[in-house]
Amino acid sequence: MPFKPLKPIKPGTRVRLTDAMAVDSREPRGDGAEKRLALLLQRLNTLQTALYAESKQALLVVLQGRDTSNKDGLIRRVFGPLNSQGCVVSTFKRPTEPELARDYLWRVHAVVPPKGTIGVFNRSHYEDVLVVRVHGLVPERVWSKRYEQINQFEKMLTENGVTILKFLLHVSKAEQKERLLGRLNDPLKNWKFQVGDLEERKRWHEYTKAYEDVLKRTSTAWAPWYLVPANRKKSRNLRVAQTVVDALERMAPKFPRVDPAVLKIARQWERDRT
């Protein structure tokens, strides 16, 4: 089947997250997928270099997903090869006391990528309408206001030169179980296994509803969500890479022109050198 890029979720669309949606029906297979990804990463590297050299705009990539959706692996495969000067990964864990003393977006705004860079959020401000909601950490009257607050926050960022792409890495319940068992049985990964992972799994349906509401209420024209079938890692990586490259192509960063005075000196030096 031909490869098709991911499409953004239209604002206000109710997406019903099913296990079937975690499997890519047009999954690229074999060496073709690896070759295509390699070409995309070459293009991504060139575009990132231009973005960094231009230093007039930024790209923010938001990654969300259930436990075992393998956000770390995607980051290593797609963004790992990039120049670290122009690509910064930020992770959001349990808020610290200083962070809790401020509004929930304070710590997020502090690490929004500056102009010239790609910023990758491994989890994000959406935890404040996901974990916070599912675990009842604040009342509904508090978290229910956050969807629109987040929309306006992201709109402000886009109006100031930040392009935003948001990816929900969607795995099935059966695939999550296999990956959790894989962690438990792998000596190099079993340190990742936590009893809390099983407790979170018991809240599968609550998280499903929370994710569905996130997609419906915060996929906007200026900061769209993309639903990524994530049961198969090669397909997932390829589709995210394609979407990021397409976005950077639209941003069209340009390498700055060399100062004519500098170019004149360089040419004179080249003629004079022995």
**DSSP calls for the chain:** -------PPPTT------GGGGS-TT---HHHHHHHHHHHHHHHHHHHHHHHHH-S-EEEEEEEESTTS-HHHHIIIIITTS-TTSEEEEE--SPPHHHHTS-TTHHHHTTSPPTT-EEEEES-GGGGGTHHHHTTSS-HHHHTTHHHHHHHHHHHHHTTTEEEEEEEEE--HHHHHHHHHHHHH-TTTGGG--HHHHHHHTTHHHHHHHHHHHHHHH--SSS-EEEEE-SSHHHHHHHHHHHHHHHHHHH---PPPPPHHHHHHHHHHHHH--
What ranges do the domains of the chain cover? 19-173+203-272
CATH architecture of 19-173+203-272: 3-Layer(aba) Sandwich (3.40)
Spans of the chain below 50 pLDDT: 1-2
Predicted local confidence at residue 194, as pLDDT: 74
What pLDDT is recorded for position 274? Answer: 52
What's the confidence (pLDDT) of residue 188? 74
pTM of the model: 0.92
